[in-house]
Structures are given as C-alpha cells and as structure tokens.
Structure 1
C-alpha cells in the first residue's frame, strides 16, 4: 500500500514540475502603456521608418493594440501596433512624434517583435510585418 502512495505522489509531483516547465518562455499580456512597452514600440517605429525607404513619409504610432512580453535569453516585446502616415519626410526626421498626420491617410497594422538583452544594453527589431488597412 505504501508503495502505491509513493508512486501516486511521485507521479503527481512530476506532472506539476512538467507543467511548470511548459510555462517557461510563454508570452503573457502586459499593459500597452507601460514605459518598457512604449520604449520598445518607439524603438520598433524608428527602425521601421529607417527601413521603409519606399515610402517618403514617416509613420507614427496611433495605438498599441496588444502588448506581450516573453522571457527568453532576454526579453521579447511582442507588439501589435497601428501606425499612421505623417507629413514629415522619412529622411528629415528621427522622431515622428511632433509630425502631424498626412492629409491623405494611410494606416498600417504592424506586428513587431523587439528583443532586448538588458545586461548587454542591446535592442533589436527581430520581426516586423505590416499591412495597409485603408
């Protein structure tokens, strides 16, 4: 009887430990207005505007619709962001915040992943996928 109790307890503990390890690295929702999320979103926007040479106008953040973080070998900020085209030229600005929106609206819905490694003072836009919504 004692052996069966030991087997049952060991099996239960093993199941619990396995469930804990499945949670490691799983993305979880965070407030979109937190300072870390806003920093990551601004970084992604800057990288997007620098790489977006096809459009002569810079974009700025209209809304962060979803924000998640994932702890890996650093921190992934997984962002769903709505961008709006501004009147500022891409080549003439580094910060699109003071720019007004373009008179001919163009909005993009973007999925960004920013990977930050704080102990190396490193931040990289590891994924950007955008599509026009109007």
Structure 2
C-alpha cells in the first residue's frame, strides 16, 4: 500500500515540477492563472465566507497575486489573494462569482493555504489570514 502511495505522490508531483532543482516539500512558484490554482483560490474564498458569518456581505476573488505549491502528504496551494466585498448576503451564497461588487468597497489581502489530498478526494482551507487591503478606506 505504501508503495502505491509513493507512486501516486510522485506522479502528482510530476504534474507540477518542471525543473530538477525542486525538492519534495519545498514550495515552488506556479502560474496564478492555472486551473488548479484558480480552483483552490475559489474554494478558499467559499470557505472564508462560511467562516466569516458575522459579516453580512460575501466576498469574491478579485486577484491572485502569488501562488506556490508544496508537495507534502498531499498538495498545499499557498496563495496570496485579494478579495472584495459583494452585494450578495453571506447567508445565501456559497460562491461569490455571480455577485456584483459592493458600492462601498472593502478589500482584504489574504494568505490562504488550501491542502488537497487527491487520492482521498479531500480539500481543506488549512490557513486563513486576512487583513484590510492598504488601498481601501
């Protein structure tokens, strides 16, 4: 069983690694517009909205400024993103994508880590640190 786990892990790591200099466990920069990165960022925002129930309005992804992956006992997506408040209520939305931005802007700069274990079909927001974005009132 452990042998197959190692084979799967190496195969998954091969999808991301393009140079010989990257070591397992070492975070590596990846394109911010890659499908897996964008999906991880959207998942993080949905989870952020669920955890941020005290805020009346939901947030949606505005920008991914940095993305790294780290192959551990799964894959960590280490993301620096900007999210913006929308007109949608937190209590009625699970995905902020169809929502329009709020007329009174509020932007947060967030550091998210999404941990994915593909062979267990699991994904979790394992780190969530947000602060008010500097350009906001």
Output the TM-score relative to the length of structure 1.
0.82
- SS in structure 1 of the partner of residue 95 of structure 2: coil
Q: Which has the higher helix share?
A: 1
How many residues are matched? 114
Larger Rg, first or second structure (1 or 2): 1
Q: How does 1:86-97 map to 2 (within 5 A)?
A: 86-97=86-97
Deviation string 1:29-79 (CA, Å, 9 cap, x unpaired) is 000110100111111011000010121100000000000000000000000
Segments of 5+ residues of structure 2 without an aligned counterpart are 1-19
CA RMSD in angstroms comes to 1.3
Segments of 5+ residues of structure 1 without an aligned counterpart are 1-19
1:73 and 1:101 map into 2 onto residues whose CA distance is 37
Runs of 4+ in 1 over 2 A off after TM superposition: none
- SS in structure 2 of the partner of residue 40 of structure 1: helix
In the other structure, the counterpart of 2:112 is 112
2:80 and 2:53 map into 1 onto residues whose CA distance is 22
